[in-house]
Structure 1
Amino acid sequence: MPNENNKQVILKIIGAAVVVFILVYAAITIIGPDEKSLDGVVKDINVNAVPHPMGHVDVSPDLKNSLSEDLPDISRYPPQVDSSTPSYIEIFSSTEKAGSGADGWLTEVARDFNDAGIMIDGKQVSIRLRGIPSGEAADYIISGKYLPDAYTPSNELWGELIISRGVKAELVEERLAGNVAGVLLTKSKKDELVNKHGAVNTRTITDAVANKELAMGYTNPFASSTGLNFLISTLYTFDSSNLLSDKAKAGFEGFQANIPVVAYTTLQMRESAKSGVLDGFVLEYQTYVNTPDIGYYEFIPFGFRHDSPMYAIGDLSEEKMKILNEFVEFSQQEKYQILATEYGFNGFNEYQSETGPVSGDVIIQSQKLWKEKKKPICAVFVADVSGSMMGEPLNNLKDSLLKGQYYIGEDNMIGLASYSNDVNIDLPISRFDLNQRALFVGAVNDLQACGSTATFDAIAVAMKMIEDQRDADPDLRPVIFVLSDGETNKGHSLNDIKDIVEDLGIPIYTIGYNADLPALQAISSINEAASINADTDDVVYKLGNLFNAEM
């Protein structure tokens, strides 16, 4: 039993603790929250709750075709090499080989082909080459919006996919130049996995992610060749005999629940890795060897090879087929294969695919499964309705949201805020079921432009909305989408909220309408999100892919 002196000491300690508690409570109550905290910023903002009527929602939109319908005119992708003769073929090529510099291998081959004066049946022939991302090129072909004569994606998965969608496509050449996809891991993480599992491959990586031993990121499998490859390869590890079995689905669901980042772009994923958010991510080998600032990652090949197959599209004439075969043969000359090697291709020639053939129907169903099994997010759309958005910018903003909302799954938590002088909460966060979707449409339709531009006030309010929701469900994955012209002339500044954004780790995607793009990019770069220019005619297509990646 404590003696009298000990009792007095204990009472004094308790008394002091009570006094400290009272003083802290009084400071919070009377003085209010720290002005540099989120609550401190929000308390100075005039926030209004604005009700809106429900809008009309198509309960069964044809998403399979609608994204393709929103493709921009093909002039959005001018040819890297144009035809120089009346007799020619047009080729869609993936961008890692139809760009410039180290990404311009096929560009250089096509230029040399056109300069070579090659004759077929007494006529000089040439090539028109367009560099288009493999997934987007597949959408052009499937939709019929623009058909090339030939298509060389990064891997054969896209070829199987377009064939399953009714496109006549003939595999002419399995390999123009060798390449592989890989998982990039820090050396310490690779050593850790080797010590625990004995090896590093797709199976050990998926197990490590499912067991929360590895923070892994990959790109959108609706748009990215490497992302699609990783999706199919992951399903294969869970059930090699049936990628869509209950066993494969259950394994993938456990794996996907622990993926912190599915990136809209490769650049976004690389930035997430550099910031320390990720232990590993996916990338093609050719890109890896041409990107010095990620050389400290170790490259582990996985899945299907990325050997740039060549497909003939549709019913080509005899002349066009001869031109295509001649060009393929031209590209295989030793000098061009040496050039390909210099540009980072033809590495890991010994690597053989871990997976067997997969039909296009299975690929499409796998994409659908990925969409269904993603971890739901908690997102707030923040719409600029200041006077500078009046007219076409606001109309385009509304159109983007009204069309883009169909790509948001119903299990996500969605809210909407708008801002000018003040900040309006137009739609409190709730599950995006049919009722919430209709309220979202009604609120978007009601948006009207006037007043000044308090962008960072609105972002603060959106963060507060999300944090309040996360109090009830801490596992929600937060995202903010800011749709604006980038101008800010009222309220808080970026410096006022930057530390808060960093501390909360909420990615803020920005979509610019007639915008000051650097100002928006400064917001998105805080937590490695993407910034989209909405002034191009492919904005709805871009947003559809962004929402597919995130929601």
Structure 2
Amino acid sequence: MFFQRAFLRFKQTFSLGLITGLSLALLWGCLGSEMPANLSSMPAIDSPEQAETVLLETLLPNIETEEMFVSDEVASRYNTDNIIEPLPNVEDFPLHAATPSNNPNTLYLEIYSSSEKANVDKQNERWLVEVAEAFNQQALTTASGQTIQVGIRQIPSGTAARLLAAGTLQPAGYSPSNDLWIELLKSQEVSITPVEESLVLNTAGFVLQADAYTALGSDVSFEQIVDAMLSGQLTAGYPNPYTSSTSLNLLYHLFW
């Protein structure tokens, strides 16, 4: 028992000394080579509570901070072209109407669709899912006798485009929110066979604060908003353009 108590006491003392020593070494490194005069008579530390008190009341108030900004010239030497966001798991996105089957008598086809056509949680955004469900109920077959079943994968247009560009998946169909994603895939030499130019019309809109709307005048147009943004009169917030069709559409009109 004596040796156990002695060992525990040694362990506690060693841990406290190690933590305190590392903290002081780090802080003195921040303070510089010269220790401020009021730190030369620092009290002895023999408990975690006292160490915290010394850190908060004696050491931290003496740390000097300085802001340094990277110039545009220096920043231009670096780029993020080689930083690639990991591809998501397609199984993380909801699948509706039908699911893959191991039945050799079933031909399963999957379509990647944007949310405004495949969101089953909203009655006015589930149109493509309802079409697929109605098709599946007909139990149509191929010439070889396989029953055709169509599944609708609800996935953001940009995310689906990334998966297609990576070549990891090849769904039977892809229905993005707008055709800009198709053009991006073509620019990446992804083979695409258009079937329909448009399934349903999609409308993007702007939400303006009241003072911004008033500043632009009584009859505000899309072109007027774009011009105000380009001139710096308005600042817009938008989602990730690599996944959001609305953001991609906005940037396209701003820069092209």
Q: TM-score range by the shorter chain?
A: 0.5 to 0.7
The count of aligned residue pairs is: 180
* Partner-residue secondary structure (3-state), 1:87: strand
* Partner-residue secondary structure (3-state), 2:109: strand
* Partner-residue secondary structure (3-state), 1:203: helix
Q: For 1:262-295, what per-residue CA distance to the aligned partner results, in whole angstroms no more than 9, with x for missing partners?
A: xxxxxxxxxxxxxxxxxxxxxxxxxxxxxxxxxx
* Partner-residue secondary structure (3-state), 2:195: strand
Aligned to 1:119: 141
Letter in 2 for 1:131: Q
Letter in 2 for 1:80: H
* Partner-residue secondary structure (3-state), 1:127: strand
From 169, 191, 201, the equivalent of 1:168 is 191
Q: For 1:379-426, what per-residue CA distance to the aligned partner results, in whole angstroms no more than 9, with x for missing partners?
A: xxxxxxxxxxxxxxxxxxxxxxxxxxxxxxxxxxxxxxxxxxxxxxxx
Aligned to 2:241: 221
* Partner-residue secondary structure (3-state), 2:136: helix
Instruction: Provide TM-score, normalisation by structure 2.
Output: 0.60
Aligned to 2:111: 91
Alignment of 1:102-141 (within 5 A): 102=122, 103-121=125-143, 122-141=145-164
Letter in 1 for 2:117: K
Which ranges in structure 2 are unaligned for 5 or more consecutive residues?
A: 1-54, 65-77
Compared with structure 1, are the counterparts of its residues 211 and 234 closer, same or farther at alpha carbon in structure 2 (3 Å cutoff)? closer
Aligned to 2:181: 158
Is the CA contact (8 Å cut-off) linking 1:142 and 1:162 kept in structure 2?
yes
Compared with structure 1, are the counterparts of its residues 209 and 163 closer, same or farther at alpha carbon in structure 2 (3 Å cutoff)? closer
* Partner-residue secondary structure (3-state), 1:113: helix
* Partner-residue secondary structure (3-state), 1:172: coil
From 82, 85, 91, the equivalent of 1:63 is 82
Is the CA contact (8 Å cut-off) linking 1:134 and 1:223 kept in structure 2?
yes
Letter in 2 for 1:114: N
Aligned to 1:76: 92
Q: CA deviation at 1:91?
A: 0.8
Aligned to 1:146: 169
Q: For 1:346-367, what per-residue CA distance to the aligned partner results, in whole angstroms no more than 9, with x for missing partners?
A: xxxxxxxxxxxxxxxxxxxxxx
Compared with structure 1, are the counterparts of its residues 136 and 207 closer, same or farther at alpha carbon in structure 2 (3 Å cutoff)? same
Compared with structure 1, are the counterparts of its residues 110 and 46 closer, same or farther at alpha carbon in structure 2 (3 Å cutoff)? farther
Is the CA contact (8 Å cut-off) linking 2:94 and 2:155 kept in structure 1?
no
Aligned to 2:252: 232
Aligned to 1:100: 120
Alignment of 1:65-464 (within 5 A): 66-67=84-85, 70-83=86-99, 86-102=106-122, 103-121=125-143, 122-186=145-209, 189-195=212-218, 199-235=219-255, 243=256
Q: CA deviation at 1:214?
A: 3.0
Letter in 1 for 2:82: L
* CA distance in structure 2 between the partners assigned to 1:115 and 1:76 by the alignment: 26
Q: Could you say what the CA RMSD is over the residues aligned between the two structures, in angstroms?
A: 3.0
Instruction: Provide TM-score, normalisation by structure 1.
Output: 0.30
* CA distance in structure 2 between the partners assigned to 1:126 and 1:161 by the alignment: 29
Letter in 1 for 2:246: T
Which ranges in structure 1 are unaligned for 5 or more consecutive residues?
A: 1-41, 50-58, 236-242, 244-551
* Partner-residue secondary structure (3-state), 1:90: strand
Q: CA deviation at 1:166?
A: 1.3
* CA distance in structure 1 between the partners assigned to 2:158 and 2:58 by the alignment: 43
* CA distance in structure 1 between the partners assigned to 2:151 and 2:59 by the alignment: 57
* CA distance in structure 2 between the partners assigned to 1:46 and 1:71 by the alignment: 45
Q: For 1:99-122, what per-residue CA distance to the aligned partner results, in whole angstroms no more than 9, with x for missing partners?
A: 223232222221221112223435
Compared with structure 1, are the counterparts of its residues 181 and 86 closer, same or farther at alpha carbon in structure 2 (3 Å cutoff)? same
Letter in 2 for 1:116: Q
Q: For 1:230-277, what per-residue CA distance to the aligned partner results, in whole angstroms no more than 9, with x for missing partners?
A: 000112xxxxxxx3xxxxxxxxxxxxxxxxxxxxxxxxxxxxxxxxxx
* Partner-residue secondary structure (3-state), 1:180: coil
* CA distance in structure 2 between the partners assigned to 1:78 and 1:215 by the alignment: 34
Q: CA deviation at 1:157?
A: 0.3
Is the CA contact (8 Å cut-off) linking 1:91 and 1:150 kept in structure 2?
yes
* Partner-residue secondary structure (3-state), 1:184: coil
Letter in 1 for 2:134: D
Higher relative contact order (CA 8 A, sep 6+): 1
Q: For 1:331-379, what per-residue CA distance to the aligned partner results, in whole angstroms no more than 9, with x for missing partners?
A: xxxxxxxxxxxxxxxxxxxxxxxxxxxxxxxxxxxxxxxxxxxxxxxxx
Is the CA contact (8 Å cut-off) linking 2:114 and 2:176 kept in structure 1?
yes
Is the CA contact (8 Å cut-off) linking 1:91 and 1:152 kept in structure 2?
yes
Aligned to 2:49: none
Letter in 1 for 2:110: E
* CA distance in structure 1 between the partners assigned to 2:97 and 2:202 by the alignment: 23
Compared with structure 1, are the counterparts of its residues 101 and 75 closer, same or farther at alpha carbon in structure 2 (3 Å cutoff)? closer
Letter in 2 for 1:181: A
Greater strand share, structure number: 1
Compared with structure 1, are the counterparts of its residues 61 and 201 closer, same or farther at alpha carbon in structure 2 (3 Å cutoff)? closer
* CA distance in structure 2 between the partners assigned to 1:81 and 1:126 by the alignment: 8
Q: CA deviation at 1:73?
A: 2.9
Is the CA contact (8 Å cut-off) linking 1:81 and 1:130 kept in structure 2?
no
Is the CA contact (8 Å cut-off) linking 1:110 and 1:127 kept in structure 2?
yes
* CA distance in structure 2 between the partners assigned to 1:161 and 1:228 by the alignment: 11
Aligned to 1:526: none
* Partner-residue secondary structure (3-state), 1:162: helix
Is the CA contact (8 Å cut-off) linking 1:80 and 1:99 kept in structure 2?
no
Compared with structure 1, are the counterparts of its residues 61 and 224 closer, same or farther at alpha carbon in structure 2 (3 Å cutoff)? closer
* CA distance in structure 1 between the partners assigned to 2:215 and 2:140 by the alignment: 55
